[in-house]
Structures are given as structure tokens and as C-alpha cells.
Amino acid sequence: MRIYLRGELGSGKTTLVRGLLRSLGVRSGVKSPTYSLVELYVTSRLNLYHFDFYRFVDPDEFRDAGFADYLGGDAVCLVEWPERVVALLPPADVRVRLVAPPRGGRDATLDADTDRGRRCLTALAPLPRPA
């Protein structure tokens, strides 16, 4: 499963990942991979990779890092700043666009690029919306 997270600095991408990992039972520190580029979290039988491509200035950096294999496997990959290497990435299963509106809080828009992603979003559809 590939989930691509987009949004300006401070829009909540890492915070969203942190909340997801906490909901999966990760109790260790969840840090932004801005400098390490990737952090691995293992929960039950799930390998979850958290990528951050913010520092990439050239898509070749993605190739040189060897990350393509991770994004094609069975792991869950959460990718911040995918637009930095978009030409080299496989399609996202789910795309999340985060915006920090002036009124506070966060707005999230979710879209799917694959059948797997559409099934995932369909399963989320019955969730109630906050008032």
C-alpha cells in the first residue's frame, strides 16, 4: 500500500503519520525522517516505511538511495513530499492532501489512483464526519 502525503510545511503530514502509528500500537518515538529519509516501524506482521523526500533536489537522489524496491513490495509506505520524485514513483494507492486553513485545524482530501486505493477509501466512506 502506497500512501502519498502532500501539503505545505507545517500542514500536518508527520503528525498524521504519528497518529496512524500510535493507532497501530507503536509506542516508541515517531520522528520525522527528514534527515534519515526513511524510518521503519514493525507492527504485528506489518512493515511500515515512512519516507520524507523534502530534501531531494534532484530525482536521481531517489534512484541513488535505492528506495524503488520498498515502494513495490508488500509493505505500507507513507511518503511525504512525493512531488519531489513523482516521475519515478509508482502510482499512489491513496493520495492525501493536507491544508492548514486560517481558521485552524486541518483539512484533508483523500483520492485513490488504484483499485486497491479505491477499495480502501470505500471502506472508510461510512465513517461519520466531525460536526
Using one digit for the tens of pLDDT, what is the confidence trace for 1-46? 999 999 998 888 988 998 888 888 887 777 777 667 888 888 877 8
Q: Establish if 129 belongs to a structural domain.
A: no
Q: Establish if 58 belongs to a structural domain.
A: yes
The domain that holds 100 is classified in CATH as: 3.40.50.300
Q: Establish if 131 belongs to a structural domain.
A: no
Residue 72 CB burial class (10 angstroms; 0-12, 13-18, ≥19): exposed
Domain containing 97 equals 2-124
Cα separation, 100 vs 31, in Å, equals: 20
Q: Establish if 90 belongs to a structural domain.
A: yes
Could you tell me which residue, 60 or 51, shows the higher pLDDT?
Answer: 51
Q: For residue range 52-64, what is the model confidence (pLDDT) as tens digits?
A: 988 888 888 888 8
Cα separation, 13 vs 59, in Å, equals: 21
User: How many domains, the chain?
Assistant: 1
